[in-house]
Each structure stands twice: as C-alpha cells, then as structure tokens.
C-alpha cells in the first residue's frame, strides 16, 4: 500500500471515529498532495508525499513559534495537534550522529572544502537524505563539516 493510500484510509477511519481534529489535518495533507498533482500533472510517489509532509511540518513548526510569541495558546494547541498527525506519515528519521556521518562521507566524496561549496554539498545532501532527515539538521551538519 502506498503512503497516499494509507493517508486516504486514515481519513476514512477518522471520519468513522468522528475525530474532527485528525480529519482536518489529513484532509489538509491530501489537499496539498492533490494540488501538487494537478499543478505538475503528475502522480505522486511516496518520496514526493514525504516531501510534502516535511514541508507541512516545517510550516506547522514556524506557526507554533509565531503563535507562542503572540501568546495564542489556542492556536498553538491546534497546530501542535496537526503536527503530531503529520509526523505519523514520516519514515524513521536519522539521528544527529547518523546525519553527521552521512554528511562527512558526502563532503569527502565531493571533495568539498570551505563555505564556497555549501550549495553543491547541500544539493547532494538533499538528494541523498530527503525524507530521511530534518534538512535543518543536515544544513547545520554541512556547515560544520565545511568549516573544518
């Protein structure tokens, strides 16, 4: 079963359970997937769906930070609930140590040295680690590796 099919089945289960918060988050995810399919005239595979989930999670984290600064605990709770639902669709993530070792190997393969190679190293890291790691942590690891 593809990830998109699993999300659709989870939506049906949330409807049956009358879990409106979960249903809202899943519908938002499916709408984002459908929008990308229509815009690009493609059928999304699991990797592309994980990319969309990553993007939505990043948006939720940014919103939570903004709402916390504004003192809007009601919206923080809503965004946190959506974040938890979205995180269930991500594959197992690499730990910080695993990310660092992958980045070290990647930098050695590319022969990258110094901040000038940041773009090239990030492009390679993104293609290799997309969906497996938080790209914020990957970016920090690449910066650290190139500054040595």
One domain, residues 83 and 101: no
pLDDT tens series, the chain, 148 aa: 899 999 999 999 999 999 999 999 999 999 999 999 999 999 999 888 998 998 999 999 999 999 999 999 999 999 999 999 999 998 888 888 899 998 988 888 888 777 888 888 888 888 888 778 888 888 899 988 888 7
CATH number at 135 reads 1.10.10.410
What's residue 44's pLDDT? 92
pLDDT at 40: 95
Range of the domain at 129: 96-146
Cut 0.85: pTM above it:
no
Among the listed residues 107, 108, 112, the one whose alpha carbon sits nearest the alpha carbon of residue 125: 107
Q: Looking at the structure, do residues 66 and 108 belong to the same domain, yes or no?
A: no
Cα(30)–Cα(27) distance, rounded to whole angstroms?
5
Residue 107 pLDDT:
86
């Amino acid at each position: 079963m593809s990830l998109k099919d699993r999300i659709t089945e989870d939506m049906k289960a949330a409807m049956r359970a009358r879990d409106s918060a979960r249903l809202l988050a899943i519908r938002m995810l499916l709408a984002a997937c459908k929008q990308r399919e229509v815009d690009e005239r493609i059928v999304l595979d699991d990797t592309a769906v994980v990319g969309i989930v990553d993007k939505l999670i990043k948006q939720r984290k940014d919103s939570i930070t903004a709402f916390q600064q504004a003192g809007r605990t009601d919206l923080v709770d809503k965004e946190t609930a959506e974040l938890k639902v979205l995180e269930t669709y991500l594959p197992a993530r690499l730990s910080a140590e695993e990310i660092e070792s992958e980045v070290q190997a990647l930098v050695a393969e590319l022969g990258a040295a110094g901040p000038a190679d940041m773009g090239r190293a990030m492009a390679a890291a993104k293609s290799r680690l997309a969906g497996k790691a938080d790209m914020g942590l990957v970016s920090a690891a690449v910066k650290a590796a190139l500054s040595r």
